[in-house]
Copies of this chain bind each other. A is one copy, B any other.
């Protein structure tokens, strides 16, 4: 149970700052993450990893020669914002492109994915590597749908070694994907962790039992069984992981990982039995690791990870590295990195813009002001709707995001930005400050919409309609939600279709928008079926049936607010 806290709100950032203070030899703190404090050869591929906090040494403890160039850290168990990912990546880029590695979770997929798009737009070649090692989370034929758990460590080790060896981005991406495809983990939980500021664990496992197939964010597992002796647990873990052994695979990097409160002596007892079983199955254990590599605060449990090696992977697994928590082989000769003056906090530079486009930016700023006012009034109601299915912070997040967006667009307008740049800046600010999935979605929505505008010319009605379609496409492509998943998409699709139809039918933007907003509102309300429908694909959807979706309601509210301003 987390006992050492000043303010739960700032716990994750305080922990990261304290970490950077101990390991200044390895890392330098930037906003939202850490980058290597040692010089890196120009042109080297950068490996940037990350995810929520609470998993130390994942991910900041992996930064150093031979492994990661930087780590992005969100709040406890929450994805870092798109802006944080992008910011840390810019600080960690050395001209060779970036491999962006993270575990497969919706929030991370969204934020890292959007950040990658943004960085690509800036001319940085970014590849995405999503770790999918947890065999409990999807069947063998859907490997890429699995969650990432302790496999993060072995996959990132391979990626870091490949980049350190001077491989091209293509080659680093290729070998890391192969590593991920050959990495399999399975774990058990004996008890849940307690978040900073909470007094109760995220979950409990009934006394004398354990949960199979743990997650690392307080997910308890997929089924429970009675606790078994260490030898039997070794059998269970080994057999489950061995079940997906590729044909001919013999040599393996193996990691027995403790989640935080299952301690070293227990892991060593278990390791003896696991090593026996793996060796009996003809596995050659190559530099195995036993310890805490991906934790979940003070969660009780452990997992077994096997990365099946080939010759290239074995060389990379064994290659030297020197990070705060993991050192292998020869020492690296490092020098402090040159200071990048102000690389982090410099104000955005806006390119030249026409008067007409600046006028458009001012108009958009006015609209965002109205949205802030409307969301402020609706905050409590949105929170109430959200609390029926989620954690009730949707109204707060929307208001905070919209306020950040308005501040950003006001600043952009004051500094002469055109409509396209100003709206993009507003989106980035929303994503950075609101947090959570809805913050990322709204940041993406505004930035994508802005792509239909220009800084040279005024935007016309058709540009607005095109922007709506671009925003919808990106939200669906990067967010991954489909109509019927009970998200904002359920209201956004009919909105855009209605807008396009009305505008295509010759209506004015004002009238088309008004019609589309009414359709949108009706669709948002209709996300609440009167009777529960079971058997949907997404667990979240199952939890939230029976009332409207807060994200869809927010969208309708904003659409109606804008309709009143046009």
A residues neighboring B (CB under 8 Å): 1-6, 11-12, 14-19, 21-22, 53-54, 56-57, 61, 76, 190-191, 196, 199, 207, 210, 227, 229-231, 233, 260-273, 275, 288-290, 295, 297-298, 300, 302, 327, 329-331
A268 touches B14 (CB 8 A): yes
Instruction: Evaluate whether A271 and B21 lie within 8 angstroms (CB atoms) in the complex, with A5-B266, A231-B6, A266-B4 already known.
Output: yes
Oligomeric state, in copies = 2
Cβ-closest chain B residue relative to A288: B22
What 3 pairs between A and B have smallest CB-CB spacing? A18-B268, A4-B266, A18-B272
Q: Which residues of chain B are near A271, meaning CB under 8 Å? A: 18-19, 21-22
Q: Which residues of chain B are near A14, meaning CB under 8 Å? A: 230, 268-269, 272
Q: Which residues of chain B are near A260, meaning CB under 8 Å? A: 261, 263
A260 to B292, CA, bound (A): 11
Instruction: Evaluate whether A22 and B265 lie within 8 angstroms (CB atoms) in the complex, with A4-B270, A331-B330 already known.
Output: no
Instruction: Evaluate whether A56 and B263 lie within 8 angstroms (CB atoms) in the complex, with A3-B227, A233-B4, A290-B22 already known.
Output: yes
Q: Which residues of chain B are near A272, meaning CB under 8 Å? A: 14, 17-18, 21
Q: How far is the CB of A119 from chain B (nearest CB, A)?
A: 28
Besides A18-B290, A54-B265, 16 other A-B contacts (C-beta < 8 A): A1-B300, A3-B227, A4-B233, A5-B269, A6-B229, A11-B265, A15-B269, A18-B271, A19-B264, A19-B271, A21-B271, A21-B275, A56-B263, A261-B261, A327-B327, A329-B331
Q: How far is the CB of A26 from chain B (nearest CB, A)?
A: 12
The one of B4, B231, B273, B331 in contact with A331, judged by C-beta atoms closer than 8 angstroms, is B331
The one of B3, B18, B263 in contact with A295, judged by C-beta atoms closer than 8 angstroms, is B263
The one of B4, B196, B262, B268 in contact with A3, judged by C-beta atoms closer than 8 angstroms, is B262
A268 touches B22 (CB 8 A): yes
A3 touches B56 (CB 8 A): no
Q: Which residues of chain B are near A270, meaning CB under 8 Å? A: 4, 18
The contact sample of 14 A-B pairs, CB cut-off 8 A, is A4-B230, A4-B270, A6-B230, A6-B231, A15-B264, A15-B268, A18-B272, A19-B290, A21-B271, A260-B263, A261-B261, A261-B298, A262-B298, A263-B297
